[in-house]
Amino acid sequence: MADSKRFLRIALRRVLQLLPGIAFLAIWQVLGMRPSVGFFFSTPLDVVRTIGSLIGSGELQRNLGVTAAETLGGFVLGNLVGSAFGIGLWYSETSAWIAKPYLTILGSVPVFALAPMTILWFGIGIGAKVALAFLGTVLVAAAQAHRGVRLADPLLVRRFRVFGASRAVIFRHLLLPSAALWIIGSLRLTIGSALLGAFVGEFIASDRGLGHLIVRASGLYDAATVIAGVITLALMALTLDAVIDMIEARAQIRHAGGSTGAGSSRS
Partner 1 sequence: MDAHAIELRNIRKVFGKDDVLFDGFSFAVPRGQSVAIVGPSGAGKSTLLNLAALVDSADAGEVRIDGVARNISEVGSLSLAYIFQRDALLPWKTVLDNAMMGLLCRRMETSEWRQKALDLLREIGLAEYCDRLPSTLSGGQRQLAAIAQNILLEPEMLLLDEPFSALDFQNKLLLEMRLLKLLAGRKGKPVTSLFVTHDIDEALVVAERVVVLGRRPGGSAQVMLDIQVPIPLAERDPIATRQCPEVRNAFQELWAAIRPLVAGATNNG
Binding site for partner 1 (CB under 8 A): 153, 155-156, 158-166, 169, 173-174, 177, 254-258, 260, 262-267
Residue 232: partners with Cβ closer than 8 Å, 6 or more residues away: 51, 60, 63, 64, 210
Residue 134: partners with Cβ closer than 8 Å, 6 or more residues away: 73, 74, 77, 78, 81, 194, 197
Burial bucket for residue 97 (CB in 10 Å: 0-12, 13-18, 19+)? exposed
Least gap, CB of 161 to partner 1 (angstroms) = 6
Residue 116: partners with Cβ closer than 8 Å, 6 or more residues away: 204
For partner 1, the closer CB: 101 or 261: 261
Least gap, CB of 250 to partner 1 (angstroms) = 12
Least gap, CB of 249 to partner 1 (angstroms) = 15
Cα separation of the two ends of the chain: 40
Quick check: helix, strand or coil at residue 152?
Answer: coil
Least gap, CB of 191 to partner 1 (angstroms) = 24
Q: How many CB atoms lie within 10 A of CB 132?
A: 31
For partner 1, the closer CB: 94 or 166: 166
Asked whether the beta carbons of 64 and 210 are under 8 A apart, the reply is yes
For partner 1, the closer CB: 34 or 255: 255
For partner 1, the closer CB: 6 or 255: 255
For partner 1, the closer CB: 131 or 174: 174
For partner 1, the closer CB: 57 or 259: 259
Least gap, CB of 173 to partner 1 (angstroms) = 6
Q: How many CB atoms lie within 10 A of CB 232?
A: 21
Enumerate the H helices of the chain as residue ranges. Answer: 2-32, 35-41, 44-57, 59-88, 93-108, 115-122, 126-150, 154-162, 167-170, 176-204, 210-219, 223-256
For partner 1, the closer CB: 178 or 190: 178
Least gap, CB of 182 to partner 1 (angstroms) = 14
Least gap, CB of 266 to partner 1 (angstroms) = 5
